[in-house]
Structure 1
């Protein structure tokens, strides 16, 4: 850390592991005031491989994950693997950022991925009176009071924190994910005719491309991009049967960049060209109408 940073309380544990076991490597409280505070986590391989959880007590900071910038305000946290493709820092519009952070051993990585997946977000949100936040402070005070004497005590505190995170986010997973997925569907149905991209959907949901794609596919069985094509093709079939628009006009109307791409996607989905689909089903419809008169 930088020398100008204030109120830096750090506790490092160096217990020998008799076997692979999840532990806390370090825990600390840190008030950041230096505008040069900046961590590029791709360049931290010399620090080893571990998982960093950083909770905001006061003020705010920022983190960039997969090129997307997130503000981390009071009672919010990030949970990342280091090294990794992310940076965090004190932004220009912040005078200070007070945090409580935990460096977990790499054995918690699978848990970390599950927690962030359940949260459907790169930023975790808490209430100040939540059980997890209480456990976090309890662990910090146990460390500063030198009450953690061996690796097994250290591991117990580790699993208490991790399991409480899992428990908290499992409770909201279905409701939150269903809401996120339904909002994505509504957004696509409303905007399918526009040159929509995964970046547009990411900006709309405030989720990273990775998380929104994984969560959407887990619930629907297809990616947001596939759902977009499905929606466009569904509307295209209606226009083919109920309008005199050309194939090129229909292609443009439903959001495809060109007629060739539309025809290729249509043939892949229905195993028939748009023109043959129109001729076959229009004639079929006419025969049905005549036979029922």
Structure 2
């Protein structure tokens, strides 16, 4: 998708009778547009449409939205999330050359989901163009353009997948390729020195940040605090040792950075759900070679 020098509108709507009885949500419409007209404006209290969740993502140019008594300028990378009907008004501003955007509207029993997303993401959010939510939105648009959304089952599955990606972006807002340099440096250091790390101050020093700024940034990027991330690394290493060696629990605990096996067992159970001993006895029942933890 590239910016064009003239207005265009590619929009697709969906109304299916054959929908799964368990469908939580459905795609109502999806589109890619470039507007240059002051006639473009939508008031969330007066528009005639079914109740729906609307997500709109700016590709290029500038738009504007008022939500309640707050007005926001929307530039490339900004997305807004609103419920229709509600007190909002988005429009093409007079000082903009164009506003190019992707949008998707979803309907169904999803007002509680919208409320949860609005609380975690906020009404206005920033998304890298290569983020999973935006890539999925592009894919849904492309499927619509190719007439591949042929029934309510596909529309429901894609709708639920998009809601899930939005939720995931609130919990894990960045990929490792997008982490600030200091956080990336800390992650690499933790991977190499998980067995000898002594304190949070040591990791923050590697990141060249104050401890409290590091805590905020690390959690923003990874979704979990640094000490919890360190425990995850250690347990992943322990899983491999339990599977591939005959080391005792005390030996494994010390090799990954824990001073005693009792504490190691407590942390292990918290991440894996069973004790290290039970995991070792039963690991052959698992079909996978690696266990990923979150």
The 1-side partners of 2:62 and 2:32 are apart by 14
The 2-side partners of 1:18 and 1:138 are apart by 22
Q: Tell me the equivalent position of 1:60.
A: 62
CA change 1:54–1:94 in 2 (3 A) is same
Q: Tell me the equivalent position of 1:8.
A: 9
Q: Tell me the equivalent position of 2:205.
A: none
Alignment partner for residue 27 of structure 2, among 4, 24, 29?
A: 24
Unaligned runs of 5+ in 1: 174-293
Alignment partner for residue 35 of structure 1, among 35, 38, 48?
A: 38
The 1-side partners of 2:20 and 2:153 are apart by 10
1:52-131 residue pairs with structure 2 within 5 A? Answer: 52-119=54-121, 121-131=122-132
How does the TM-score come out when normalised to structure 1?
A: 0.54
1:117-156 residue pairs with structure 2 within 5 A? Answer: 117-119=119-121, 121-156=122-157
Q: Contact 2:24–2:160 at 8 Å: present in 1 too?
A: no
In the alignment of these two chains, the number of paired residues is 167
How does the TM-score come out when normalised to structure 2?
A: 0.54
Which has the higher Rg, Structure 1 or Structure 2? 1
Q: When you count helix as a share of all residues, which structure comes out higher? A: 1
Unaligned runs of 5+ in 2: 1-5, 175-294
Q: Contact 2:20–2:153 at 8 Å: present in 1 too?
A: no
RMSD over aligned CA atoms reads: 1.8
Q: Contact 1:148–1:154 at 8 Å: present in 2 too?
A: yes
Aligned to 1:95, the other structure's residue is in SS state coil
Q: Contact 2:66–2:89 at 8 Å: present in 1 too?
A: yes
Give per-residue Cα distances to partners, 1:102-123, cap 9 Å, x unaligned: 111042322222112112x320
Q: Contact 1:49–1:83 at 8 Å: present in 2 too?
A: yes
Aligned to 1:42, the other structure's residue is in SS state coil
